[in-house]
Amino acid sequence: MTGPVHEALNAVYVEHSRRVLATLIRLLGDFDLAEEALHDAFRAALEQWPRDGIPANPRAWLVSAGRFKAIDGLRRRSRFDALEDVGERADVAVTDSAAWADEESVEDDRLRLIFTCCHPALAADAQVALTLREVCGLTTEQIAQAFLTPAPTLAQRIVRAKAKIRDARIPYQVPTPAELPDRLDAVLRVIYLVFNEGYEASSGELLTRPDLSAEAIRLGRLLSELLPEPEVLGLLALMLLHESRREARTSPTGELVRLDEQDRSRWDRALIAEGTRLIERALLSRRFGPYTIQAAISAVHAEAPNPAATDWNEIVGLYDVLLRSDPSPIVELNRAVAIAMRDGSDAGVKVIDEIFARGDLLEYRLAHAARADLCRRLGRVDEARVSYQRAIALTKQEPERRFLERQLRELPADVALKGPGIGK
């Protein structure tokens, strides 16, 4: 084996293996068969390319080889195996052959794969696992590690999802325009979930798992190329803007640094610029939704050279728009914090208490943490203490717990101390 061919093959694998898999699934009508065929195709390349040279169109070569190997395998197996549908599947594979080569249907294959992996009939955790496995090409072990799940559990999840795709006949197709908005929401939810698990790991020692965020951004970029719908651009922008602060939001010792205490010179300007351009494109469409609005809020923070220069009025206005399009208590909480910054901490506490009074967010750690912080700023130390304790009891994440415990320890013992209000 010569070095350059080996290297070339590796590069081809990185660039094309997911595309080849997506096309093979369409041609063979089965995930497992396609994965096996992909494997066989690369094994054939490893044998033949050093001898015959690298083909002009490596991807087409691999699809062709994979398809041939799979059909050959099916035929051989059907001689020993009376399964009727094996013969049927091989016929489908043969008759479909004309359509596989052209560029457009191959790009569509990648969309088909994404929409199938994120089908709402699959359990949410199965959608995530399947997307990372099939679309991103992560190994089962890598996904298991990222989600702190035992590998056999995760493998089982993927097996069940594939069985459901087969048995319930979940089709391998891009949704019709009528279905698209709902189905696209499901895809975006999966991508954002992967990003958030990487950005704010929900449990464990480390605050973030950058690999998962990078995968989510890669998925977002892929989707924005294949299907540049406004909300796809909005979600990608939102992820890029969050990502721009990754370095600044953790201290060298791994502690969480709040937005208003971050060193803004460490924010990644290139990511901010890219995100802002995407938001502008999404807003121009006039068909934007919650992701674009959240990205716009994030962009307002990114524009401010220092916390005091933040345009809180703009942010409150954007939260009002967001609440109209996507009402949720968590959005209300964020709006409450923005109101506190614009109108003073007591106004924010009032809004949070109204949310609690309705019975919402009582188990949500960040609601108690936000209330604690505002009470601390108002010098309402006793209330701050109770809210910090409540937040600490609810958090499952070590760095966050340490952050909250430090805040609690640093509360002045003297109840009479009146802290200055923040914002105006």
Kindly tell me which residue out of 167, 205, 363, 410 binds another protein, with binding defined by CB under 8 A.
167
Provide, rounded to whole angstroms, the least separation between the CB of residue 259 and another protein: 42
Ramachandran quadrant class, 2 (left: phi over 0; alpha: psi -120 to 50; beta: rest): beta
Torsion angle of the four alpha carbons 27, 33, 38, 41, in this order, in degrees rounded to the nearest 10: -90
Window 169-188: residues binding another protein (CB under 8 A): 169-171, 173, 175, 179
Half-sphere exposure of 97 (CA within 13 A, CB side): 11
Stretch that binds another protein, among 40-48, 62-70, 165-173, 406-414 (CB under 8 A): 165-173
Nearer to another protein, 105 or 173 (CB): 173
Strand partners of residue 250: 256
For the chain, counts of helices (H) and of strands (E): 19, 0
Neighbours of 209 (CB within 10 A): 20
Cα 295 to Cα 304: distance, rounded to the nearest angstrom: 15
Provide, rounded to whole angstroms, the least separation between the CB of residue 398 and another protein: 40
Paired tokens of 179: 């279905």
Provide, rounded to whole angstroms, the least separation between the CB of residue 175 and another protein: 7
Stretch that binds another protein, among 166-174, 261-269, 345-353, 393-401 (CB under 8 A): 166-174
Paired tokens of 371: 């209330």
Q: 3-state secondary structure string, 379-405?
A: CCHHHHHHHHHHHHHHCCEHHHHHHHH
Nearer to another protein, 169 or 409 (CB): 169
The total number of residues shown for the chain amounts to 424
Cα 35 to Cα 28: distance, rounded to the nearest angstrom: 10
Site string for another protein, 89-128 (x = CB under 8 A): ------------------------------x-x-------
Nearer to another protein, 66 or 175 (CB): 175
Provide, rounded to whole angstroms, the least separation between the CB of residue 317 and another protein: 35
Provide, rounded to whole angstroms, the least separation between the CB of residue 381 and another protein: 47
Nearer to another protein, 86 or 321 (CB): 86
By rule CB under 8 A, what count of residues binds another protein?
10
377 touches 345 (CB < 8 A): yes
Kindly tell me which residue out of 46, 148, 159, 168 binds another protein, with binding defined by CB under 8 A.
168
Residue type, 400: E
Cα 129 to Cα 140: distance, rounded to the nearest angstrom: 8
Nearer to another protein, 119 or 209 (CB): 119
- Residue labelled with tokens 């719908």: 229
Nearer to another protein, 112 or 376 (CB): 112
Nearer to another protein, 103 or 167 (CB): 167
Stretch that binds another protein, among 51-59, 163-171, 363-371, 374-382 (CB under 8 A): 163-171
Paired tokens of 120: 């709402």
Nearer to another protein, 89 or 371 (CB): 89
Stretch that binds another protein, among 162-170, 279-287, 345-353, 380-388 (CB under 8 A): 162-170
Provide, rounded to whole angstroms, the least separation between the CB of residue 32 and another protein: 19
> Based on the number of CB atoms within 10 Å of its own CB, is 283 exposed (0-12), middle (13-18) or buried (19 or more)?
middle
C-alpha distances (whole Å) from 329 to each of 179, 354, 383, 392 are 28, 11, 21, 20
Nearer to another protein, 29 or 419 (CB): 29
Provide, rounded to whole angstroms, the least separation between the CB of residue 112 and another protein: 12
**Interface residue list for another protein (CB under 8 A):** 119, 121, 167-171, 173, 175, 179
